């Protein structure tokens, strides 16, 4: 996620868009090498994003908007699955590493431990208070991001009392 | 917006969904009587919602998820336009009136003054710190809400310093 946006600070529409409230999320995905004849290694990608919302209770659906021409976007297009790792209020230091190029070393993703998601195989970060595993049902690309509409297949809350980090607290605004 | 959800408090997936962060918004819409042969009065509807996200910078797009079989949902399906009134941190008292049946009296909507939006004609609440006027481009209905993907035609920030109300502060959680 870029910290600086090209949006005009004097544009009233852009200023109003900046007043929408978001949390902070690390979205991860994996496309298994087993499903590809051309690769020996899985594709794994991760990114820091904020444009996430629930979109239905039954079935449980979410929408996420992911920047086009990014590694995360291209890998989700292939894998059609992802995990939303919900960043906790005290985990602001996690945002920058995941906003950079994805680096996987053993069971570390961008320096943070993970396990494979039970429903999707997407990396689930060990330290986040809660996560969701999602399967893409539809995607819409009109502008500079794709909107993925996904069913939530599973998820867990490791720390029910932990509060999520909000974008207002993270000092990292994506929008406008 | 219902305060009590039917979701299972012991369901880990539902608990994780509740950790997504939202702001609080009053969405309004209007279908002009001029466009209908069968009515003398405009259809106007409003509702308190939280499932809102930006989805593109260029063009500026948003997604909103609106409960099916609601007056707001049916009216947006007809009008294909809506306004997002961004509720300020000190405007918690606004949420309950707009969660009830829409009542329009002169220039008051559910007891709050409004003017007609320049781009859409949707009611813009006079007292909110910022608002967006939107035109529906696509809609997807898979679950119990419709996802409206809309272009932001205009918007304004009346009070750049005002902070928006977050769902965490509103004590009104919609999600799970």
Structure tokens at A171: 């000092």
How high is the ipTM of this complex?
A: 0.93
> What superfamily in CATH does domain B23-155 come from?
Electron Transport, Fmn-binding Protein; Chain A (2.30.110.10)
Contacts of B7 in chain A (CB under 8 A): 57
Does the pLDDT of residue A7 top 60, yes or no? no
Mean pLDDT of B109-123: 97
Q: How confident is the model at residue A40 (pLDDT cuts 50, 70, 90)?
A: confident
Q: Do B52 and A20 touch (CB under 8 A)?
A: yes
Mean pLDDT of B103-132: 96
Q: Please report the beta strands in chain A, taking only residues with DSSP state E, as ranges in sequence order.
A: 25-31, 43-49, 52-56, 61-67, 81-86, 104-105, 108-109, 112-116, 123-125, 130-141, 145-157
**CA B170 to centroid of chain Cα atoms:** 16
pLDDT number for residue B151: 98
pLDDT number for residue A152: 98
The CATH architecture to which A22-51+69-132+154-163 belongs is: Roll (2.30)
Over residues B14-73, the pLDDT tens digits come to: 999 999 999 999 999 999 888 877 878 899 999 999 999 999 999 999 999 999 999 999
* Total residue length of chain B: 176
Over residues A114-172, the pLDDT tens digits come to: 999 999 999 999 999 999 999 999 999 999 999 999 999 999 999 999 999 999 999 88
Q: How confident is the model at residue A1 (pLDDT cuts 50, 70, 90)?
A: very low
Selected residue of B6, B21, B51, B157 to mutate for chain A interface (largest A Cβ count, 10 A): B21
The residues spanned by each domain of chain A are: 22-51+69-132+154-163
């Amino acid at each position: 996620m870029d910290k600086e946006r090209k949006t005009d600070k004097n544009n009233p529409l852009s200023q109003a868009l900046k007043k929408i409230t978001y949390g902070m999320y690390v979205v991860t995905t994996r496309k298994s090498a087993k499903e590809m004849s051309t690769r020996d290694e899985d594709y794994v990608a991760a990114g820091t994003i904020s444009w996430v919302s629930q979109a239905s209770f039954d079935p449980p659906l979410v929408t996420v908007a992911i920047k086009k021409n990014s590694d995360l976007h291209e890998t989700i297009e292939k894998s059609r699955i992802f995990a939303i790792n919900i960043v906790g209020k005290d985990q602001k230091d996690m945002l920058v590493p995941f906003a950079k190029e994805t680096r996987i070393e053993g069971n570390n993703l961008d320096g943070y431990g993970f396990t494979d998601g039970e429903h999707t195989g997407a990396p689930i970060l060990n330290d986040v208070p809660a996560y969701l595993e999602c399967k893409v049902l539809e995607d819409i690309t009109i502008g500079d991001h794709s909107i993925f509409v996904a069913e939530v297949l599973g998820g867990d809350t490791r720390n029910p009392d932990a509060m999520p980090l909000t974008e207002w607290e993270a000092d990292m605004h994506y929008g406008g």
